[in-house]
Structure formats: C-alpha cells, structure tokens
Structure 1
Amino acid sequence: MSVNQTITLENYSGQQQRVMSVSRIRVLTLIGTIIAQFALGSVYTWSLFNAGLAEKLNVPVDNVAFSFGILSLSLALASSISGKMQERFGVTKVTIAAGLMMGAGLLLTAHASSVAMLYLCAGLLLGFADGTGYLLTLSNCVRWFPERKGAISALSIGAYGLGSLGFKYINLALLEHVGLNNTFLYWGAIATVMVVIGGLLMNDAPTQATGSQRQTNDFTLAEAMMRPQFWMLALIFLTVCMSGLYVIGVAKDIGEQYAGLSFSIAANAVAVIAMANLGGRLVLGVLSDKMPRMRVISLALLSSLLGMTILLFGHMTIMNFYLALGCIAFSFGGTITVYPSLVSDFFGLNNLTKNYGAIYLGFGIGSLCGSMVAALLGGFSATFSVIFGLLALSLLLSLLVKAPNRVPSLV
C-alpha cells in the first residue's frame, strides 16, 4: 500500500468517525429535547388545581385561574429572550437552570398563602422557567436537523403536548393520594429531574456558514423586524393563538352555556381537544416537510375558520360542537408546530431562537386578547365574530406573503 493510499484511508476513517460522532450528538440532543419538552408541557395541567387552590386561599376560582394567564404571558416573554441566554451560557446550562427554576416555582406554589404570592410563583416564575426551556430546546433541536425541520418540530412539540396529557394522570393520582401541597412538591421534583436529564443530553447546534457564505435569507432580529413579512407572520401567529387559546380555555363553558349541552358532554371536550391538538402537531408537522410550509399554515387557518363557522352559524348538536372544537385545536396544534420551521425558512436558522422568540410573544398576547375581547363585548357570539374576521384576514395574508430575500452579504 502506498503512502498516498494510507493517508487516504486514514482521512476516510477520520471522516467516518466525525460523521458517527455528529450523528450520535444529534440523536442524543433529540432524545434530551423530547424528555425536557414532556416535562415542560406539564404546566397545561394547571386547571386541575384551580378549585383546590381557591378553597385553600378562600378566593373565587376566577382569581386563581388568572394565574395561568400570567403564566402564558411570562412564558412568551421568556421565550423571546432565551436566544440571548443560549448565546451566553449554552443550551445545557440554560435548560438545567430552567428545570431548577420550574421546581422552585412549584415548591413555592405549594406554600403560597395569598393570591399575590400565587401570581408571583405559579404565574411569573413558573411561566418564565417553562418559556425559557420550551423555545430554547425546540429551536436548538430544529437547527440540528435542517433537512427534517417539520418532522423534528412535530416530535418535539408533540412531546410537549403529550406532557400535558401524561402529567394529567400523574397529578390526578398525586392529588388523590398525597394532597394538594405535596402534589406540587412531587410534580416539581419529577419535572426538574426530567428537564435536567434532558439538558445534559443536549449540545448546542452548530452555526451555519457566515461571511462570504452567509445565506441570503439569514436575518438578525433587527433586520427581520424591518421586513413586512415579519409582522404578517406575527399577526397570523397571534390570531391562531388567540382563537385556539380562547376556545380551549372556555370549551366546557361553550358547551354548557352556548351550545346548551350537559356538563358531562361539555367536559368530554377536553379529550377531543387533546386528541385534535396532538393530531394537528403530528399531521401538519410531517406535512410541512412535503409541501410549502406557508400552504400548510393556510390549511391550518382554513381548519380554524371551519370550526369558527360551525360555532357561529351551525346548529349546536353534540357532533357539531366536538367538530368545531376539534378543527380549532387541530389548527392551533399544527400552527405551533410548523411555525419554528416556517420562521427559519423566512429568516434563516442562525437567529431562529431570537426571531421566533419575538413572534412567539403573540402566544401570550393572544391568550390575553381573547379574554379581553370577551370581557369587552360580552357573550360568545361577539367574540367568535371578531376571531372569525381575524382568521379570514390571516388566511388572505398567508396566501400573499412571500419569503424575503437579498443579495448575499460579506458581513
């Protein structure tokens, strides 16, 4: 064997080892992300605790339920700055910190003696921890798999959705056997361990080529916000979140008060929403790798419009009620899943956490807007009409918006 042949074989062996190493890192990061996302999704079991906390604090249930609105807003705010934290500390350290903060928030919630302390611990602190870990781990994992962004988003956010379902049974069992305060302690311990383990398995995704190789669609947050496409995407996202979060949050009340259905039938809407939400995440997430992602969002908006049309103009039978909620939940889950990849299509992968984080503020704002519109206009019909109009506008924007582009830069 010649020297040249030996060197060639050695180079080949080294390349193979590097490929295997990168492949292992990607798989471990995906596994860690799924574990962490499952635990982070547990915050959506919050409604299980409203009645118990209201009784403990001797306040109306609505006062306790408002803490989840604060949590949603804090979650969105934390998501918008998680990119900066990753730049400084790395994904592992920030994820571990988020897990510890989540445990601390639930520990303090167990000892909350006033509504103000509940808002601080279960609202601001828990929401900040969840938002930091959620978007950071999601966008980092998507950047590791640029060739399968939709499928990876579906797996990651699907785990987040399954977390709410899995912890529903865990927390219900804990409430039955150990009581309210201890449930928060056990929940916090389980979630913290899972998020920390997930964080230890993760690695920071490599940055795409810069300089003369900089992609024409690679935008910083400041550059992205100067493009009209950014605000069009932000409005579409806010609208879907507003419709989804409002309807999901008052589904039982819609069934009883608006559709005139019995308590048991209205309560079953929770299961319908959970299955449709998960279906939207998986179906539209995978579909987004097979067709233009903006068209997938258009399909999601059509689904939500169909659901809102049934609520506004349809006869409220049991099947129509479930179908309407299913269409809206399917749209919401699918949009949440596809949007990280869509934002990377428009503004590049390098600044995905920052760019999507800013758009993700629409999650918190949308959750508040639905409740505010309902309070101002009164009644479900008026609120549904406003949401219907915003969905129609968003559908039109989704058909018109095109990804920005520019001449490659040396910067």
Structure 2
Amino acid sequence: MTALPISKRYYTLVGTILCQFGLGSVYTWSLFNEGLSSKLSEPLTQVALTFGLLSLALAVGSSLSGRLQEKFGLRTVAITAGLALGLGLYLTSTASNLTLLYIYGGILVGAADGTGYLLTLSNCVKWFPERKGLASAFSIGAYGLGSLGFKYLNLELISRFGMESAFGIWAIAALALVVGGALLISEAPQARGHAVSAGTKDYTLAEAVRQPRYWLLALMFLAVCMSGLYLIGVAKDVGERYVGLSASVAADTVAIIAAANLLGRLVLGILSDKIARIHIISIALACALVGMALLLFVPLNEYSFFFAVACVAFSFGGTITVYPGLVSDFFGLANLARNYGLIYLGFGIGSVIGSIVSFALGGFLPTFYLSLLLLFASLLCSISLWPSLSHRTTTVTAH
C-alpha cells in the first residue's frame, strides 16, 4: 500500500476540525427563537419550524454532497458551503416575515451545513485508513464542540449587540472557520474498500428496500432524529415555558445538549466496536425513551429537566454515529452511501414532522407524546432484529 503524504493528511485533519466546529454552530439555533418570534410577531411554534426545515435541508444536502464532489471537487464544494452558510445566517437577520425566515435560516443554512458536514467528514476518514475511528472521533467531536463553543459566543453576542447583530457576527465566524478549514483540506486518494465479515451480502438499494428490516431501520432512525432534533431546536423555550426556568438557566440547556450529544457519539461509537451495533441502538432507543417519559410524566425542576434532555441528546448523538455501520451490517459496505442515504432522509423528515405536529396541535406536548410512541415501537423493532445478525461485523463509520 502506497504511503499517504503525511503533511496533506494532517493539514486535512486540522482543516476538517475547523470546518466541523463552524458547521456544528447551527445547533445553537434555539437561542434565537424567542427573539425571532418577537421581531416577526409570530407564534414561537411557527418560528421553531425553521430548525425543522434546516434539519431537512441538512439531510438533503448531505445526501447530495458526494455527487457535488464528483462534479466540482471537494475543496470547491466545501468553500461554497462555507460561503452559503455565512450568507444564510446573515440573511436570516434581515428576514421580515416567516417565508423569508424559512428560506434563509431553514433551507439555505441547512443545505450549506449538510453539504459541508458529510463531505469533509467522510474525506477525513479516507485519509486515515488505519485509524478511521480516531479520525471520526476528532471530526465528530469538533462538530459537537462547535455547538458548545458557539452557545457561549452567541449568548454573549445577543446580550451585547442584540439578535440581528449577533446573527451577522455568527455568520462571519462560521464562514471564516469553514472556508479557512476548507483551504487546508486535500481530497483523499481513492481508497480501497474494506471487506465486511464473511456472510454479509452486498445489497443494492433496489434489493435493500424490498427487505422489511430496511424499513424497520428507517423507522428507528426517524424516531430518534425526530425526538432529538425537535428538542434541540426548542430546548431553551421548553425550559422557560414548560418547566418555568429563568432565561439564563434555560439557556444552559444548549450546553447540556451539546455535551450529551458529544458524549453519546464517543461512548456509543466506541462501544459499537465491542458490542453488536443493533444492541447499541437498542440502548440508545431506551435512553431516549427514558428522557421523553421524564419530560411527560415527572414533575420537572432544573436538574430533572437537564437529565431528561441529556438522555435524548445522548441517544441522538450515539445513533447518528453508529447507524452507517449498522446499515452496512445488514446490507453490506459496497452500496452503503446509497442504502444509508435514503434512511438518512429521516434526519430531516423526523424534525419537520415534530415541528408540524407542534404547530398544528399547539405546543410541545403533542410532539413529545408522538416521540414517546415512536421510540417505544422502535425499541421493539430493534429487539426483533437482534437474531438477524448472528455474527459481529466490522466496517467503516461514515458519519
């Protein structure tokens, strides 16, 4: 095997970390919902739909990023994603109605973020074929830390300069990180495929979708994404309006989510190399189920609310990390991008469903109840799939 250029590898790693840190900043979105609601004189539930659209656009952008890379090259696409992200955030500050908010803050920001996210992450992993897990951990960790770091930055910006100026400064910071990181990145040489354990057939997408277990996996993924993304998008508002926390204490929920999300990615990702991935997903689903049950059925204070939110965020982060490998366990590695790509649309669809239910039925609770039911059904589905994998498989995680 030809040695990979050391300088390009590590410049790419640093560049990817910078890109991921800037891209992860979108998970602080709930800090701005209250201000946007006041500015536009629109109900909070309608404003919160922006993050659902952002998540849907993020999923679509991720699924198309590979084709864009093939056509225009990785660095060009990554730089364009950074410019589009900055533009979208700036234009969000100028939005004068819900339609413009949905276009700028939802569709443009989400599509840019998703394109840059999956593109830079998968490329970084290819540069480290002997240390894929470590490269993934650095990239995934940077994305999680981006939401944590920008939580404090954006709170300070809102406090000092107001919401509209905060959006503008956030736009400049995110753009600089993503574009600066992209300039350090080199496209990885074509990597040789790594075999999956003997006995795993490589399914095409057409073959995979004819398998009932494919749709069980899709339901499980959608359930976790709906509960996680909806709660991430409205966490601060739930803390204030539903639990009765002060604005400053409720804002700490963003940091709790970021830390739990990151912990879930690292802990469940590491465990998935030692325990069957379908068992890991069952653990993640059970964790999210506990969090939702606490939100719905237990009198909440500051600490019980933080714990409930942390359970859901931990599950979401871990599921996102483990799922590419899980899909390859069932359907092989050769067509993973296509097979996982269709399931990954549940990332955005789940978030939009959660926001629409909240808007249509008026509040947070209807979405929480729907999430609880879907998580319970998904846990049963995951347990039913345990016998399907009689052997442990090892593969590359691509998210």
Please report the TM-score for the alignment, with normalisation by the length of structure 2.
Answer: 0.82
Give the superposition deviation at 1:318. Answer: 4.5
Question: Alpha-carbon deviation of 1:163?
Answer: 0.8
Matched, 1:29 2:18: no
Could you list the runs of 5+ residues in structure 1 that have no partner in the other structure?
Answer: 1-14, 406-411
Larger radius of gyration between Structure 1 and Structure 2: 1
Q: Answer whether contact 2:257 2:313 (CA < 8 A) is retained.
A: yes
1: CA distance, partners of 2:249 / 2:372: 25
Residue range with higher mean Cα deviation, 328-337 or 255-264: 255-264
Q: CA deviation at 1:278?
A: 2.0
Matched, 1:390 2:379: no
| Residues 357 and 252 of structure 1: CA distance in aligned 2, closer, same or farther (over 3 Å) | same
Q: Structure 1 residues 396, 55: CA separation in 2 closer, same or farther (over 3 Å shift)?
A: closer
Match of 1:19, SS?
A: coil
What residue in structure 1 maps to residue 213 of structure 2? 229
What percentage of aligned pairs have identical amino acids? 58
**Between Structure 1 and Structure 2, how many residues are aligned?**
385
CA contact 1:280–1:332 (8 Å) conserved in 2: yes
Q: How far off is 1:208 after superposition?
A: 3.2
**Which residues of 2 match residues 152-171 of structure 1 at below 5 A?**
152-171=135-154
The 5-angstrom pairing of residues 10-409 of structure 1 reads 18-21=2-5, 24-145=7-128, 148-200=131-183, 201-204=185-188, 206-209=190-193, 217-252=201-236, 254-255=238-239, 259=243, 266-349=250-333, 351-375=335-359, 383-401=367-385, 402=388
Task: Read off the aligned partner of 2:19 and give its amino acid letter.
Answer: A
CA shift digits 1:17-60 (9 cap, x unpaired) = x4252x55444433322211111111222233334444544545
For residues 90 and 41 of structure 1, the distance between their equivalents in structure 2, rounded to whole angstroms, comes to: 23
Q: 2:163, 2:245 → 1: CA distance?
A: 31
- 1:323-356 deviation digits (Å, cap 9, x = unpaired): 2222112111111222233334444555444433
Moved more, 221-230 or 319-328: 221-230
In 1, are the aligned partners of 2:49 and 2:355 still within 8 Å (CA)? no
Q: CA 1:60 to 1:384, structure 2 compared with 1: closer, same or farther past 3 Å?
A: closer
Change (3 A) 1:68 1:373: closer
Q: CA RMSD in A?
A: 3.3
Q: What SS does the aligned partner of 2:3 have?
A: helix
Amino acid at match of 2:180: I
Give the structure-1-normalised TM-score: 0.80
Between the aligned partners of 1:286 and 1:347, the Cα distance in structure 2 is 22
How far off is 1:256 after superposition? 5.4
Q: Which segments of 5 or more consecutive residues in structure 2 lack a partner in the other structure?
A: 392-399
Amino acid at match of 2:87: A
